[in-house]
Structure 1
Amino acid sequence: MDMESALAALSALSQSTRLDIFRLLVRHEPDGLPAGDVARHLDIPQNTISTHLAILSRAGLLTSRRHSRLIIYRASLARLRALMVFLVRDCCASSPELCAPLLANLVSCCPATESCP
């Protein structure tokens, strides 16, 4: 991931509603959710959900697919992984022990039997 892509992703996530949407969709992997369900889960007005989803999609954080008349949105775990790697890439350059707590937290939230970002 380059600086421009990282900034686009971080900018998209820097708004509370969009962060809530992204976290909700991460929890609903791998199936994803239609826009209407996202709006209902988070009590977001229908007239604003498409704007938030479009911003997250343009930043590469969401993917979508048509299923009949619905558009199903999913979190892009590959993009999340790339962003996390970009943010911590230099963390362990000379002191790997600095990253040990971070890695322990990631492992504890994603047991080996689950698909992790």
Structure 2
Amino acid sequence: MKMDSPTSLDLTRAAAAFAALGSEQRLSVLRTLVRAGPDGLSIGTLGDRTGVTGSTLTHHVKILASAGLVTQARQGRSIICAAVAFDEVQDLADFLLTECCADSTDTDHTHG
């Protein structure tokens, strides 16, 4: 998702991703997966690290996957969840900051 010049599709995708992150538990799940790196974590380990378990965790991972932020893959008897959308997460941050202070009359503005 490139956000250099926002279009309605970019706004729609950004809104969907931000909506998926609109839960403390989902945000915690994503942050935990980002920390784990591209190898991801088993659903059991993810639950242990976030304190979100069972059907609640499955529900949150499904929402994050639908937003394109995580993937799930079966490895043997385990389900591995991974935050494979590192570029997507960076693009969301860029989306918010790309026009930072563009309408400000203060010429001494900084961010990041």
TM-score of the pair, normalised by structure 2: 0.78
Give 5+ residue unaligned stretches, structure 1.
103-117
Quote the residue 2:41 is aligned against: 33
Per-residue deviation, residues 60-97 of structure 1 (Å, max 9, x unmatched): 11123322222211112011012112111112658896
The aligned residue for residue 100 of structure 2 is 91
Does 2:41 align with 1:61?
no
RMSD: 2.1
Deviating more after overlay: 89-98 vs 31-40: 89-98
Distance in 2 between residues matched to 1:97 and 1:65, nearest whole Å: 48
CA 92–42 in structure 1, closer or farther in 2 if over 3 Å, else same: same
| Structure 2: 5+ residue stretches without partners | 2-9
Higher relative contact order (CA 8 A, sep 6+): 2
For 1:7 and 1:88, the matched residues in 2 are separated by 15
Aligned residues: 101
Structure 2 CA distance for aligned equivalents of residues 98 and 47 of structure 1: 46
Structure with higher Rg: it is: 2
Matched-pair identity in %: 38
Shift of 1:47: 2.0
Name the SS of the counterpart of 1:71 in structure 2.
Answer: strand
Moved more, 40-49 or 18-27: 40-49
Does residue 80 of structure 1 match 2:89? Answer: yes
Q: Does 1:22 align with 2:36?
A: no
Normalised TM-score (structure 1):
0.75
**3-state DSSP class of the match of 1:14?**
coil
